[in-house]
Structure 1
């Protein structure tokens, strides 16, 4: 059993609202980022290692974090990607026998700062009322004025390109090289589980850096192209948008998830926008307008596709709608082999509600 003497810490929001807490460990004393919250009751390790969370201070609404430790197989990338963690109760003593590390050791290995003993209910209420904004967590209680000044100059997420921070630097292969089909993956911040689901559909994958050209991807002679999730604003990713447009014009089977979905929309002249506080959790209801069935989905995005523009686009069929706020959750191109969704079917909170999307992609490139 571990016992810790907790050091006083503070959270300061961009609007100068402050919350008191305690430092989880002493491996760091300050972290900046855009604050956001995730409503998932489980899956904290998958959240922390999801590249789409790069640069964000994560607030977990579940009251207990760390109670089942961590396991290597549950990482969605090679390291935690969040800028920092904010939680109510932090457990130093995991109860799961199969865990490799406690969450404390997991965070310490990546020098990731976390604070606990904070009123997360009041904090989430504030974010929902006033929107996502930059914030800082720190134990430097004697430097609050200085922290506020630093916070003023911290980059805004709107207009920020972050794919380059999380994408692979060199192409690599994934799956069975003797598979029947080949898929070229544009890595804008891809999750490991997405690669696993794609490779299970008789596909050998080659994963390319975020700034690769269509010619680069086609050198693999793929049967299809996949555009991955990513942190940040999709609009600065001009090369990815041009790649998507060219692939669609050539009618190469193309599937996009999350920011990949937004990239496809931008390639068709449909705009994206920064959401008030985004969708992040594993219980988001989505209606499939084609089948009439509802799905429980995992979502993680702070930007979305303009639904009005999509509805008025002659080549677009909206296929999925988020039932909480009626935002666009999926569409397909009527005359092309291309479709995309805003949510994460590989995360499986349903657990199998959205697996059919990978099967639909398979049917598209295998036909």
Structure 2
């Protein structure tokens, strides 16, 4: 029996750079922001991360798909990337948990995938020129015509995408073992591993829609509030900033990850800016400035907080400082707010919940527990006095 003939696929960047390959996902066309991710493992978690909404992900690892697709490692209810580009799509799946091939899952969910692309050259181009809009097509063969449509697509700067990925209704994740805390988690594009890791620490997690109010939060009687990762430009997320302002006014301990770090920064009075090509992968070195400890961390962000390094800034809620920096480029990777010598809130730009690893930063969930405990003890002491 003859093998089916490969279907040609075309990739065109907004600056006109063109690559040709073959289809290994759904036929059709896809448009988005072209970004590269450096992880050698964890492609299933990457594809199902809501933070990749409206982005075409280029994998820098030369072969992708050899562990197939299972249903346990999904980070959300669906694939969120606009398209997926690889150097070589593995012809076989060899993991014992695999239910089907990566290409089959892309087809089933209508996601355009392209293989046979020189991803090394493509990545170098994006590093030099910066992340930019891109089009993928299995039906258009003329690069100029496809580029015309690429240039009509909206840019990521200025994009407000949170409402496209948040839950429609609250979801409760019960505490595992003895319940210690209740946490309200605002879903800006949350990954399932986050409430899972909180739950393992005896936390009952109430995942709330992004449009929730402070009354929705306080009705739960929470011990703390969490803001998740998510897609888009944090400069557009005024509603999330307003909500976090109310949370800090209510004197509730805060923990934020990724987009939640950017919202924390904006709430505290800092700006945000778009990185040239972003941080995406599972091998980024970050230093905790208090301990000087270096962690290898997972990242997925194209924006960052513009806060001063080595300085303390006074806000109406207390003093804030940059707590973590990326050793590759000194980008702010964490913020810490203290009030009367105690931590009132903190956030990190990277992903301590990274299911695919590394797990150097999982201790941050324990730190959140410690902050909530100290807050409870402080309130109890105040009542006793």
Alignment TM-score, normalising by the size of structure 2: 0.91
CA distance in 2, matches of 1:319, 1:13: 37
Contact map agreement 2:87 2:119 (CA 8 A) in 1: yes
- Paired residue for 1:61? 60
Residue in 2 that maps onto 1:173: 172
RMSD: 1.8
How far did residue 313 of structure 1 move? 2.2
Go from structure 1 to structure 2 and tell me whether the alpha carbon gap of 1:53 and 1:248 turns closer, same or farther (over 3 Å shift). Answer: same
Tell whether the 8 Å contact from 1:270 to 1:310 is kept in structure 2 after alignment.
no
Q: Give the secondary structure class of the aligned counterpart of 1:242.
A: helix
1:96–1:115 distance in 2 versus 1, CA, 3 Å: same
Distance in structure 1 (CA, Å) of the matches to 2:263 and 2:15: 31
- Tell me, yes or no, if the aligned pair for 1:2 and 1:92 is still in contact at 8 Å: no
- Whichever of the two has the greater Rg, that structure is 2
Which residue of the partner structure matches residue 113 of structure 2? 114
Query: SS at 2:22's partner residue?
Result: strand
1:325 maps to 329
Consecutive unaligned residues in structure 1, runs of 5 or more: none
Of 326, 336, 354 in structure 1, the residue corresponding to residue 361 of structure 2 is: 354
Paired positions, count = 366
Q: Post-superposition shift, 1:92?
A: 3.3
Tell me which residue corresponds to 1:130.
129
Distance in 1 between residues matched to 2:8 and 2:367, nearest whole Å: 51
Aligned partners of 2:282 and 2:358 also within 8 Å? no
**Paired residues for 1:1-367 under 5 Å:** 3-25=3-25, 27-176=26-175, 179-308=179-308, 311=311, 313-314=313-314, 315-335=319-339, 337-347=344-354, 351-367=358-374
> What is the CA-CA distance between 1:179 and the residue it aligns to?
1.9
Residues 266, 8 of structure 1: alpha-carbon distance in 2 compared, 3 angstrom cutoff: same
Deviation at 1:357, TM superposition (A): 0.6
Mapped contact 2:262–2:305 kept (Cα < 8 A): yes
Deviation at 1:14, TM superposition (A): 0.6
Aligned to 1:285, the other structure's residue is in SS state strand
Counterpart Cα distance in 2 of 1:143 and 1:307: 45
Q: Aligned with 2:313: secondary structure? A: coil
Contact 2:271 2:307 in 1 (8 A): no
Q: Is the 8 A contact 2:21 2:117 kept in 1?
A: yes
Partner Cα distance (1:142, 1:352) in 2: 44
Closer/same/farther in 2, CA of residues 2 and 282 from structure 1, 3 Å limit: farther
- After superposition, the Cα gap between the structure-2 partners of 1:78 and 1:350, relative to the gap in structure 1 and judged at 3 Å, is closer
Deviations 1:281-325 (A, max 9, x none): 000000111111100000000000003388462321211110000
Task: Tell me if the contact between 1:283 and 1:349 (Cα under 8 Å) persists in the aligned partners.
Answer: no
TM-score norm. by structure 1 comes to 0.96
Q: 1:20 to 1:350 in 2, by over 3 A?
A: closer
- Deviation, structure 1 residue 349: 6.4
Runs of 4+ in 1 over 6 A off after TM superposition: none
Pair 233,309 (structure 1): closer, same or farther in 2 beyond 3 Å: farther
How far is 1:183 from its partner? 0.5
In the TM superposition, what is the alpha-carbon distance from 1:185 to its structure 2 partner? 0.6
Maintained 8 Å contact 1:297/1:349: no
Cα contact 1:253–1:338 (8 A) shared by 2? yes
Change (3 A) 1:317 1:3: farther
Q: Which deviates the most, 212-221 or 180-189?
A: 212-221
